[in-house]
Structure 1
Amino acid sequence: MEPPGSDLGTWSARRIVRNMFPLLVGLSVIVLWAGIRLEDAEALLEEYGLLAVMVPVMVGMGGNLGAIVSSRLTTRLHLGTTAFDPRDRHLWANVAATFALAATVFSVLAVGTWIIGLLVGNGLPLRTLLFISLSSGLSLAAIALVFSVATTYGSYRLGIDPDDTTIPIVTNVVDVFGMLLFLGIARWTLVG
Structure 2
Amino acid sequence: MSVRHDVWDIYRQALPVLLVALGGGLFAGLVLELVIARAADFPGLLIMVPVFLATRGNVYGALGGRIASGLHQGLIEPQFQRDDRLLNAVVASVVNGIGISIVIGVISWLALVALGWPRADLLHLVGIMFVAGALTSGVMIIGLLGLIFYGFRAGYDPDNLVGPIVTTLGDVFGMLFLLLSVVLMEALVT
Which bracket does the TM-score occupy, shorter chain normalised?
Answer: 0.7 to 0.9
Equivalent residue, structure 2, for 1:95: 90
Over 3 Å counting, the alpha-carbon distance change for 1:41 and 1:128 in structure 2 is: closer
TM alignment of 1:118-129, pairs within 5 A: 118-119=113-114, 120-129=116-125
Over 3 Å counting, the alpha-carbon distance change for 1:87 and 1:143 in structure 2 is: same
Deviation of 1:86 after TM superposition, in Å, equals 2.1
1:37 to 19, 31, 34: 31
1:52 to 31, 36, 46: 46
Over 3 Å counting, the alpha-carbon distance change for 1:190 and 1:85 in structure 2 is: closer
- Gaps in structure 2 of 5+ consecutive residues: none
Contact 2:63–2:93, Cα closer than 8 Å, also in 1: yes
Equivalent residue, structure 1, for 2:186: 190
Q: Deviations over 1:22-71 (max 9, x none)?
A: 22122211211221221233221244330001111111111222211110
CA distance, structure 1, for counterparts of residue 182 and residue 34 of structure 2: 14
CA distance, structure 2, for counterparts of residue 86 and residue 40 of structure 1: 38
Over 3 Å counting, the alpha-carbon distance change for 1:76 and 1:47 in structure 2 is: same
CA distance, structure 2, for counterparts of residue 157 and residue 126 of structure 1: 46
CA distance, structure 2, for counterparts of residue 108 and residue 22 of structure 1: 35
- Gaps in structure 1 of 5+ consecutive residues: 1-6
Amino acid at match of 1:34: A
TM alignment of 1:73-92, pairs within 5 A: 73-83=67-77, 84-92=79-87
Over 3 Å counting, the alpha-carbon distance change for 1:23 and 1:102 in structure 2 is: closer
Equivalent residue, structure 1, for 2:141: 145
What root-mean-square deviation, in Å, do the aligned CA atoms of Structure 1 and Structure 2 show? Answer: 1.9
Over 3 Å counting, the alpha-carbon distance change for 1:73 and 1:55 in structure 2 is: same
* TM-score, normalization by structure 2: 0.87
2:150 to 129, 154, 175: 154
Equivalent residue, structure 1, for 2:6: 12
The share of aligned pairs that are identical, in percent, is 27
Amino acid at match of 2:130: L
Contact 1:103–1:138, Cα closer than 8 Å, also in 2: yes
Contact 2:43–2:120, Cα closer than 8 Å, also in 1: no
Deviation of 1:191 after TM superposition, in Å, equals 5.1
Amino acid at match of 1:94: A
Amino acid at match of 1:93: N
Helix, strand or coil for the counterpart of 1:124? coil
CA distance, structure 1, for counterparts of residue 142 and residue 12 of structure 2: 26
CA distance, structure 1, for counterparts of residue 11 and residue 39 of structure 2: 39
Contact 2:31–2:179, Cα closer than 8 Å, also in 1: no
Helix, strand or coil for the counterpart of 2:156? coil
Number of aligned residues: 183
